Amino acid sequence: MSETEAPPARGLRERLLRPTLPELWTFLAVALPVLASLIAALSTVDLAYQLRAGTDILAGRGIPAVDTWTFTAAGQPWLDQQWGAQAVLAAVYAVAGWSGLAILRAALVGLTFGLILVAIRRRQPGLKSRVAAWLTLAAFIVAAPALALRPQLLAMACFALTLALLAGRRRRPRAVWLVPVVAIAWANLHGSFVFAPVLVGLAWLEDRVDHEPGRAGLFVVGLATLVATAITPFGIGVWGYAAGLATSSDVRAFVTEWQPTTLRDPTGLVFWISVGAVVLYLVRRGSRPSWPQLLTLASFAVVGAYAARGIAWWPLVAAVTVGAMLDGARGARDRVARPSAFNGVVAALLAVVALALLPAWRPVDPATGAPQGLLREAPSGITAALRDLVGPGDRVWNPQVWGSWFEYAVPEARYALDSRIERISGSLWREVVAVTGGDWCPTLGSTDTRTVVIEGPEEDSLLAFRLMQGGWQRAYADGDGSIWRWDGPVFDSDCRPGSP
């Protein structure tokens, strides 16, 4: 058989048991991200409060409209734009528990990068499977820090699906009409829905420059996508929510992931290396790419540079756009490859490892109710102690990173901070800084807060030292942190104990 001769048709069983090397590369491009996702723990920083909200929604209590979980913003309006993701997460948890959520995260990661692989192959059908797999895996490495199980991960799957649909628009023009449908779901999952019409607009610009006959239809799809993003319980108000969060000076001043991406952070370093690699490729490339392609790369590089939270979208766009620039006609196409049982063994071993890594096999932590080692930002001992110490309505001053978990695990209390960062005012952030630095009395005294949770060793905490000096009692301590209680009278305006 010559290198250009088409291989004989092979059945599914043959492809599974004896895949070719290109088929193995295609498998690895999706399987390796899935495997990595099963190894990583689930962060509760956003996930836990999403589960609590989703449980209320599924129980028929409606979409939350006001804050009832924190005492610092109690009664204030809450535009819960992510309600759809909350319902999905809570539904999976209700059926399959924490292990089900771990599998969901792995499935969403696999779906996202499987769709990126599809988009790359659609943009450049002649590309070697190995090169397409490398581009996909490179995108995964850069995006890995953004792949926590939270509404953004469902949005990343929508983003990748939109890229895949647009990548095949010239061969399957009718399929792009699915993009507005995706946008409806996306707008009820996460604030990144704003990228849906942006992606269509960039694709339309490229078709216009290339004089594609279907560009007029794509323009209509873009308008339909824009309208579709307002099909939510909040209407066009979701755009105000997204814009307000992204441009909030308080959020950018106090929340690390919304601050500019720098080389000092490992995540930022990987991002800037990837941007540099793309720039180097463009400089060394023989032919000049079209200006819409450059605009696409530049736009999402700016999004990633603007805030660490924006890094998630850059590698997905970069992999597909760079893949389209690679020349699939000059010796890049896969040669005819022979099936190999060894390739099947490699794939089977990875499947066995993934099965062995499922958290369902681990013993359950009684304090968290999750398999041991599965959850992050969920301090087991402190959670158990807090359940014994607080009652309904008690106010707890807590580290922001644990707020979401406490709201889920010990819901009877009220907390100072959680992960709904758009609801934390600049004045409250300044109070957080003051309390953490040991100046606890003005804030805790004025709110009659009698329980304080401190993250980390108490010997390293100025707040713990000042609480001890002020007569607070250590109620619990372990390697994760400590709990302090005040059981005396209320404080007067001068921070002295007053009448009971």
Predicted confidence (pLDDT) per residue in 202-237, tens digit:
999 999 999 888 888 999 999 999 999 999 999 999
Phi, psi dihedral angles at 455 (to 5 degrees): -90, 135
The answer to whether residue 165 is domain-embedded is: yes
Nearest alpha carbon to residue 137 among 153, 164, 117: 117
E-strand ranges in 20-103 read 42-43
Domain that includes residue 248, residue range? 13-346
Do 132 and 51 share a structural domain?
A: yes
Amino acid 489: pLDDT = 77
Do 399 and 298 share a structural domain?
A: no
Name residue 249's amino acid. S
pLDDT band for position 4 (cuts 50, 70, 90)? very low
Amino acid 7: pLDDT = 57
pLDDT tens, 349-385? 999 999 999 999 999 999 999 999 999 999 999 999 9
The answer to whether residue 373 is domain-embedded is: no
pLDDT band for position 334 (cuts 50, 70, 90)? low
- Asked if the model's pLDDT at residue 498 lies above 60, the reply is no
70, 417 contact by CB (below 8 A): yes
The answer to whether residue 174 is domain-embedded is: yes
Do 407 and 337 share a structural domain?
A: no
- Asked if the model's pLDDT at residue 99 lies above 50, the reply is yes
Percent of the chain whose predicted confidence (pLDDT) is above 90: 77
Q: How many domains does the chain have?
A: 2
Do 410 and 473 share a structural domain?
A: yes
The answer to whether residue 416 is domain-embedded is: yes
| Element holding 473 (H helix, E strand) | strand 473-477
Structure-model confidence comparison of residues 253 and 190, the more confident one:
190
Do 413 and 302 share a structural domain?
A: no
Do 415 and 301 share a structural domain?
A: no
The answer to whether residue 366 is domain-embedded is: no
pLDDT band for position 5 (cuts 50, 70, 90)? low
Do 404 and 324 share a structural domain?
A: no
Do 121 and 192 share a structural domain?
A: yes
Rounded to whole angstroms, the Cα distance separating 147 from 84 reads 18
Do 119 and 231 share a structural domain?
A: yes
DSSP 377: S
406, 386 contact by CB (below 8 A): yes
Amino acid 396: pLDDT = 96
Do 390 and 453 share a structural domain?
A: yes
The answer to whether residue 211 is domain-embedded is: yes
Do 199 and 261 share a structural domain?
A: yes
Where among 298, 331, 346 does a domain terminate?
346
Range 330-338 average pLDDT: 60
Phi, psi dihedral angles at 433 (to 5 degrees): -60, -45
Where among 346, 363, 394 does a domain terminate?
346
| Element holding 454 (H helix, E strand) | strand 451-455
To 5 degrees, how large is the angle CA 227–CA 150–CA 40?
A: 145
The answer to whether residue 172 is domain-embedded is: yes
Do 409 and 338 share a structural domain?
A: no
The answer to whether residue 205 is domain-embedded is: yes
pLDDT band for position 139 (cuts 50, 70, 90)? very high
Where among 327, 346, 365 does a domain terminate?
346
- How high does pLDDT run on average in the chain? 91
